[in-house]
Structure 1
Amino acid sequence: MTRSPARSPRLLLISTMFLVVAGGILLTVPQTPSTPAISAPPRATAPPAHPRATALSSRAAQAGAPAQATASTASTQSASTSALPPHGEGVAGDAAIQKSLEDAWPADLAADDEHTLLAAGRGLLRADATGVGRAEWPALFGDPEQAIAPAFSTARFRIQAAIARRDGSPNQAVVHLVWAATDRGGTYTDRRITDWHFTRTSTKGASPWTPQPRT
């Protein structure tokens, strides 16, 4: 029986060095997790605020819109103002402006009060803009012969839309008017906006609503 020759010390040294190098390589290799990491879902971003479509809706809100208006009312306002006719549409576009006002600012007055206020507001606007009928309100316009000359012509004056609503309390109201006219320089502009404010009075034999001076 033959004896196997003894292993060379040199061979053992080479084997040991090989194992050391292989172990070092394994330690430097990044370990991939067996299951994917769970990340939080991305946070939803709010949509950008929609700019106000026209100055009409802005003025309607400033004029005393009801405090109980909700988000649904705001969306209704946005939808209605986006349907406004373009400037220069003429009489054909007045109905759309009227509907936009009524949608944006729901009625909150008794029918009789609303009718009285609308008639007074229309008359006051015409008197203020064109001078016609100022004698009916001497407390507001003074002596017609000494009053300031009207700024607008009666030729193309037109009230495009009007609503009457409460103005903060049952005894306060505002008539919101949208109108068109030609000024003394000959420039025609439509969708002008004017507000006339009223206070309820108890004077017998007269209108229960008294117009307030414009500031």
Structure 2
Amino acid sequence: MAHVGSGALVAIGFLDPSNLETDMQAGADFKYELLWVVLVGMIFVLFIQTLSANLGVKTGRHLAELCREEYPPFVNICLWIIAELAVISDDIPEVLGTAFAFNILFKIPVWAGVILTVFSTLLLLGVQRFGARKLEFIIAAFMFTMAGCFFGELSYLSPSARDVTKGMFVPSLRGKGAAANAMALFGAIIHRTTCSCTLPWSSHGRPHGQTKASE
């Protein structure tokens, strides 16, 4: 139970604005035909996150620390630059997506929405000063609120179980832009998987006696 909150922090990554926009666009264009991409992506996620979590549990260190120890400085600098570019490219659509949401819901100008989004991010980071549990509780509350809205929408729309099942288990890439949407879906699912080995230690400290990676 000590690490359930860390799991919520990982899970919220799949509900960010850029992921949801990708999912909704694929659904608007192809209905249920690309659900099989989500299923395949989640299988990959389960496999990678299991490896990632095992790495953290066995060594007491996360992937970035082990890369720093095992790779030469040049490789580590390249990995750092790639990571920074990935963070920037990932955050731009999230900030803009949230700003557009403010604009749609409250008629707030997009530039003001960007400022509000940045401020809310800093506010959440500031909550960590009062303990990791406080941040985990807030994030979990957001996640369960979104989940409740999602299931409420499902009950209202009543999607066809037959079409959903067919979309999940019968691969299809028919129509213009299907391949591009499939790649976007797959990328949106996969890109957050390595957080599993980092969050438990950053939130609650390292396990005793696990400070050195074994041979």
Question: Is TM more than 0.5 here?
Answer: no
**Structure number with higher strand proportion:** 1
TM-score under structure 2 normalisation?
0.22
TM-score, normalising length: structure 1: 0.22
By relative contact order (CA 8 Å, sep 6+), the higher-ranking structure is 2
